[in-house]
Structure 1
Amino acid sequence: MNAHTESPESAGTASAEPARMGSATHESVRIGIVGASGYTGAELLRLAAGHPSFDVIAVAGDTQAGAAVRDLYPSLAADYGELRYCAYDPEVFIGLDAVFLGLPHMASAPVVADLYKRVGCVIDLGSDFRLTDATHYPQWYGISHPMPELLGEFPYGLPELGREALRGAAGIAVPGCYPTAAALALAPFARGGHISTSGVVVDAASGVSGAGRAPKPNTTFSTVDEDFVAYGLLDHRHTPEIEQATGCQVLFTPHLVPMVRGILATCYARPLSDSMGGMTTEGALGVLADFYAGEPFVVVHRDAPHTKATLGANTCHLSARVDPRTGWLVVLSAIDNLVKGASGGAVQCANVALGLPETAGLPTTGLMP
């Protein structure tokens, strides 16, 4: 990784032709990040520092324009020197191989209008292009979609469930963190016809970083410490995304826990009576192991997954149980919400789209202790 340290003005003079889809070389992939001052942007920079091909050209963060990256995130100082945030200007980014958007929900569309098919690939970490049905946006996001014609142009960026659609894509919609955890847990059973796709329950708990860097009254230390609370009851905006990704009707309840990173999703479904002659715990674990055989970022184990096992890694840890007393299937999924649930997933998508090794720049080992 080479971080360019030009001023925003000099960075904006670059006007290379957009890369052809899938034509990026392994030697240098020129990337930019819009919305780079938030947690997902910082995580993208951390991962880019270890990527053998990524060359960070420009990082836009309007609220931090002119500030050095190292001043906002001292953890990035060794790799990014005097790289500074610039105010967003499309001319700075046009012609790059990949541009990542780490913007608030429903704020990406104007940037996509500027950059789509004028850069190699736009990788949107927001919610703007995740849902294929435009009518869901007024209900779940309170806004009519400004570019419904592009919803079908942004494949859903969960490679384990749809890798081929990402190859050569000009735009990718990176899943939300909760949907990533839930979809990886449930999809093997739903796609295999092993469960009833109605009445599925997803209870998931997330660390505070999922709420973003901006201070909020409900995420201050004094509010979160020693507290555990459910929120978004019955109407959390990730519900339709989980349903779209799994093909299941879902009752989703998220919870906020007093930790920085991590998601643990506990998913409940009813096995179909004729599934595998009666599903057992060993059979359920086998479904997961078979479905994800050869996947570098999915770990299937009998033991219940720990969020800390995924800390800083682009992995999802899965386990399952079948309760013979109640008949329920329970699938457990742990991820780092900022890595596999956001920025790591985005880098994985970019690797696939641009023809790079899918694992490039992505750690599989969590931090411990």
Structure 2
Amino acid sequence: MIRVALIGSTGYTALEVARLLLAHEEAELTVATSRADEGKPLSEIHPSLAGRCDIALQPFDPAAIAEQADVAMCCLPHGASAESVRDLATAGVRVIDFSADFRLSSVPLYEQWYGVTHPWPERVGNVVYGMPEFFGDEIAKADVVANPGCYPTSAIMPLAPLVRAGMIQTDDIIIDSKSGVSGAGRSPKLGTLYCETNESISAYAIASHRHGPEMQDLIHRIAGKPVDVLFTPHLTPMDRGILSTMYARPVLQDNDTVQSVTSRLMDELRKTYRDQPFIHVVDHLPATKHVVMTNHVQMTVRVSGPNDQPGRVIIVCAIDNLSKGASGAAIQNMNVMFGIDQMMGL
């Protein structure tokens, strides 16, 4: 049985980890920590766990956690997580980090976008990105895994294979994403109050969202080609889910038509993900309802153009931001790390 520690237990991602572990046949939650709520049962923080997961919240003590857990799910905020990850890894606990502290490939890039000095800089660029579809062999051996961002997952999954195959131009990629309110976290904020978000949709962090450089960095690492991404996120009045619509220019061949380009792009995605159980290249237009409460991804391609002349490639991808965009991906990564079926518990 894989013993799991939950570090920082009060947020939505922590609740989702606990919920998923209750159904996991080969893993169990043995430790949960919280600096603010030490001593309280986890079910007092998350009432939906009452009678199912009532373990008491402990202080953060890496040595004690190492005696009780094989892997830690670190759900602490960006900038605060890296030090705890370092201490846990040093104590011999394998770690899946939910923050962005180890996702990017360089310290200057991280410090530019997150505005803090990294406490474990020698590991930046040396931590595997937690996307088993591309980095499964590295994840299996890793002591620390950087769990992917939610928006980046919805963009990287469809874009990286097409960039790698040279099928879309890399200098003009537009990503328009819409997310449920849970993506903003559980802490109260004016912009995510019910009266602010209900019956409304709004753009935010235009040309300044921290997930933009993560998308560029990871597509480059996977595809081996730099890309120029323009990313705009939107907040939508739903609990969970992300729908990303991406626009790019196709790389054309002689006598290409809208149909031929569409078929070629869809075939490339199907070839890339034919052995990946969570990724589905579909003919219909994906919607968040199709993937909510699951670790599954749906994506498809359309091509626009007058008189059957290809103009723009339009890619649509749907994920659940709390599952494949966070906690489900972490469970999938844990399964790969410990050599069991990656679908277990999912």
Q: Do these two structures clear the TM 0.5 threshold for a shared fold by scoring above it?
A: yes
Q: Which moved more, 1:216-225 or 1:83-92?
A: 83-92
Amino acid at match of 2:37: Q
Matches within 5 A, 1:81-100: 82-95=54-67, 96-100=69-73
**Structure 1 residue 309: deviation in Å?**
1.3
Matches within 5 A, 1:346-365: 346-362=330-346
**Structure 1 residue 153: deviation in Å?**
2.9
Distance 1:110 1:194, change over 3 A: same
Distance 1:333 1:163, change over 3 A: same
Which of 207, 210, 229 aligns to 1:237? It is 210
Which of 336, 341, 344 aligns to 2:325? It is 341
Which of 82, 86, 91 aligns to 1:113? It is 86
Is residue 286–residue 298 contact of structure 2 (8 Å, CA) maintained in 1?
yes
Is residue 3–residue 27 contact of structure 2 (8 Å, CA) maintained in 1?
yes
Which of 212, 221, 227 aligns to 2:200? It is 227
TM-score, normalised relative to structure 1: 0.87
Q: Which moved more, 1:274-283 or 1:221-230?
A: 274-283
Which of 233, 237, 242 aligns to 1:263? It is 242
**Structure 1 residue 204: deviation in Å?**
0.2
Q: Which moved more, 1:268-277 or 1:139-148?
A: 268-277
Structure 2 partner of 1:57: 30
Q: Distance in 2 between matches of 1:223 and 1:212?
A: 15
**Structure 1 residue 255: deviation in Å?**
0.3
SS of residue in 2 equivalent to 1:318: strand
**Structure 1 residue 113: deviation in Å?**
2.2
Structure 1 partner of 2:223: none
**Structure 1 residue 107: deviation in Å?**
1.1
2:282 corresponds to 1:301: yes
Q: Which moved more, 1:248-257 or 1:82-91?
A: 82-91
User: Could you report, residue by residue, the CA deviation over 1:205-228 in whole angstroms, capped at 9, with x for unpaired residues?
Assistant: 000000111100100001000111
Amino acid at match of 1:299: H
Distance 1:332 1:276, change over 3 A: farther
Is residue 185–residue 267 contact of structure 1 (8 Å, CA) maintained in 2?
no
Q: Any gaps of 5 or more consecutive residues in structure 2?
A: 221-226
Q: Distance in 2 between matches of 1:102 and 1:298?
A: 25
The list of structure 1 runs, each at least 4 consecutive aligned residues, that deviate by more than 4 angstroms after superposition, is 275-279
Is residue 6–residue 14 contact of structure 2 (8 Å, CA) maintained in 1?
yes
**Structure 1 residue 277: deviation in Å?**
5.3
SS of residue in 2 equivalent to 1:37: coil
**Structure 1 residue 74: deviation in Å?**
2.1
User: Could you report, residue by residue, the CA deviation over 1:11-49 in whole angstroms, capped at 9, with x for unpaired residues?
Assistant: xxxxxxxxxxxxxxxxx1111010111111010000111
Structure 2 partner of 1:320: 301
TM-score, normalised relative to structure 2: 0.93
**Structure 1 residue 120: deviation in Å?**
4.1
Q: Distance in 1 between matches of 2:254 and 2:295?
A: 31
Q: What is the total number of aligned residue pairs between the two structures?
A: 334
User: Could you report, residue by residue, the CA deviation over 1:265-285 in whole angstroms, capped at 9, with x for unpaired residues?
Assistant: 001111112399565222222
Q: Distance in 2 between matches of 1:181 and 1:84?
A: 35
Is residue 194–residue 275 contact of structure 1 (8 Å, CA) maintained in 2?
no
Q: Distance in 2 between matches of 1:275 and 1:134?
A: 44
Structure 1 partner of 2:230: 251
Q: Distance in 2 between matches of 1:276 and 1:320?
A: 20
SS of residue in 2 equivalent to 1:127: coil
SS of residue in 2 equivalent to 1:243: helix
Is residue 58–residue 92 contact of structure 1 (8 Å, CA) maintained in 2?
no
Distance 1:327 1:114, change over 3 A: same
Which of 283, 296, 306 aligns to 2:264? It is 283
Q: Distance in 1 between matches of 2:254 and 2:234?
A: 32
Q: Distance in 2 between matches of 1:79 and 1:274?
A: 58
Q: Distance in 2 between matches of 1:228 and 1:124?
A: 30
- Percent identity reads 39
Q: Any gaps of 5 or more consecutive residues in structure 1?
A: 1-27, 363-369
SS of residue in 1 equivalent to 2:83: helix
Is residue 104–residue 125 contact of structure 2 (8 Å, CA) maintained in 1?
no
User: Could you report, residue by residue, the CA deviation over 1:128-177 in whole angstroms, capped at 9, with x for unpaired residues?
Assistant: 00001111122211123222101133100111122111112100001100
Q: Distance in 2 between matches of 1:271 and 1:356?
A: 39
Matches within 5 A, 1:143-182: 143-182=116-155
RMSD: 1.6
Q: Distance in 2 between matches of 1:134 and 1:275?
A: 44
SS of residue in 2 equivalent to 1:163: helix
**Structure 1 residue 117: deviation in Å?**
4.3
Amino acid at match of 2:42: V
Q: Distance in 1 between matches of 2:254 and 2:153?
A: 25
